[in-house]
Structure 1
Amino acid sequence: MALSGRAPSAAAGPPGPGQCQEHASVFTSEVAEEFDEILNGSTNQGQRYTWGSGLAVEISAPTSCEPGQHAVAPDVVRAAKVTVTVINGTGRRFDVGVLSFRREAQFDGRKAEAVFDSGGPCGGGGLESATVLPGKSYTYDMAFAVGAQAGELQITLQPDFGSDKAVFVGIA
């Protein structure tokens, strides 16, 4: 079946079995290429992102965690925890708390709520208050509520309004 330059009429209905099969594979490869372009500029979880100032951050690949009995969390179907390491390659102190307030998380295109589990297996939720001296690093855990099935977890961090956003993408 060849594609025409006009839209099919509503009366024609959806294509039957076997129709447009050749175009479906083209569409799939085009979508995959576009998805790769969208992710261009992202950092995969497990890699490091370094800002022009010399400040760097690494986020581990997500692992599952079960919030403890005292966790403050929304209705959690499943939780995913990542380990964040901040490396201060600048010439001045850096307050890790800034990353907490400029953080965004999404799971499969929807906002992922933080899981606050201080002292529990999921960690403190990423609201950290620590000063990292030049040449030093600091590591902490943060967790997010995710769906029952595996999906894409995207975490965005930004040390200040003038800096680029570091976008980490992985499967949770």
Structure 2
Amino acid sequence: MSDPNYSPKHSYGGSEQPYELPEGLTSEEWAAADTAVARMRAERDVAEADAQGPVVADPYWPESPYDHVPPLTQPAAPAVRNGPGLAAAILAPIGVLFGLVPLTGFVAVICALVAIPLALVGWSRVRRGRATNGKTAMTGLVLGAGALALGVWGITIVFAAVDQLAEDLSGPAPVAAPVVPRPAGQQPAVEAEQPAAAAGAVTAGFGQRVTFDDGLAVEVTAPQLYEPSRYAAGHDGDRAVNIAITVVNGSGEPYDAVMTMVNATHGGRQVSRIYDSANGGSENPAGTVLPGKSTTFTVALSLGEAVGELQLEVSHGFLGKPAIFVGQV
């Protein structure tokens, strides 16, 4: 049923004006008419917007000062600097190699003094996050310390040898005891000790003792033939002989037996030493000889078939003059 008092409002030209229902139309019919008119107006507005196209910015509109400001970015991480640790790892092994030779010990010390600070700087950068080669820096530090120790050891040996040379040069000239003939097959007895110094090498016979100016004495036995085993190394001649060498420490200080060096020639040619663990070959002197004590080691030599002069040189330092023992073998 329609309400006889219903007064719908219709807009024409953007205004809404009330009017009375004409005769013959109900309120439902007027509501349907209003809905149709509203839908038509909406379709018209959409068509007008499509005809105008997209909205274009005004080219004369002033730009904002913030239009070209770049966006904020995260700050870049600091660059990695692995140079000091790498340099230490290169210098330290070089110092170790030079430190193995006493005469170049000073080079090892220089390399170590440069490598250790570089390794410490590299390790500090690793801890602060500015380097990534922590293991390399630590390797350089350890090897640098080893190179420093080897360098100091080599310099100590060189200075000790120089001091020993100076002492030997200030001593008297050596005089050897004369060789006394002995019956065949009889072992030679140790004869009178004779002083020797580095100003000139002393020549003595097998079975004699030579005493140096610093109190050290060396004596050798007569060469004895022996048969090397099949495992012997260094036997390239026709005969093999054994010689026992005894070093007596008559000085007031301990003596390092490693400093004893032996060299031999037979018939004017260098002979090789025989190393034969199975049947008594050459031995290397080792250990510390205390004052008043002695040490004995064996030297096995490979000789030719012909009889010739065997010359055995025994020295007790790198720069000292040797005691030379001579005999026909």
Q: TM-score, normalised by structure 2?
A: 0.37
Contact 1:152 1:171 in 2 (8 A): yes
Instruction: Name which one, 1 or 2, has greater alpha-carbon Rg.
Output: 2
Partners of 1:41 and 1:139 in 2: how far apart?
A: 21
Contact 1:103 1:155 in 2 (8 A): yes
Query: Which residue of structure 2 lines up, in the alignment, with residue 76 of structure 1?
Result: 237
Of 252, 263, 267, which aligns to 1:108? 267
Please state if 1:169 is matched with 2:169. no
Deviation track 1:10-68 (CA, whole Å, cap 9, x = no partner) reads xxxxxxxxxxxxxxxxxxxxxxxxxxxxxx94111100011100000101111111112
Show structure 1 runs of 5+ residues with no match. Answer: 1-39
Show structure 2 runs of 5+ residues with no match. Answer: 1-200
Query: Which residue of structure 1 lines up, in the alignment, with residue 307 of structure 2?
Result: 150
Partners of 1:115 and 1:65 in 2: how far apart?
A: 11
Q: 1:55 to 1:107 in 2, by over 3 A?
A: same
Alignment size in residue pairs: 129
Partners of 1:52 and 1:163 in 2: how far apart?
A: 11
Contact 2:208 2:220 in 1 (8 A): yes
Of 213, 217, 224, which aligns to 1:52? 213
Contact 1:46 1:61 in 2 (8 A): yes
More helix by share: 2
Query: Which residue of structure 2 lines up, in the alignment, with residue 4 of structure 1?
Result: none
More strand by share: 1
Post-superposition offset of 1:91 = 1.0
Query: Which residue type is aligned with residue 160 of structure 1?
Result: G
Identity %: 37
Contact 2:202 2:322 in 1 (8 A): no
Ranges of 4+ aligned residues in structure 1 off by more than 6 Å: none
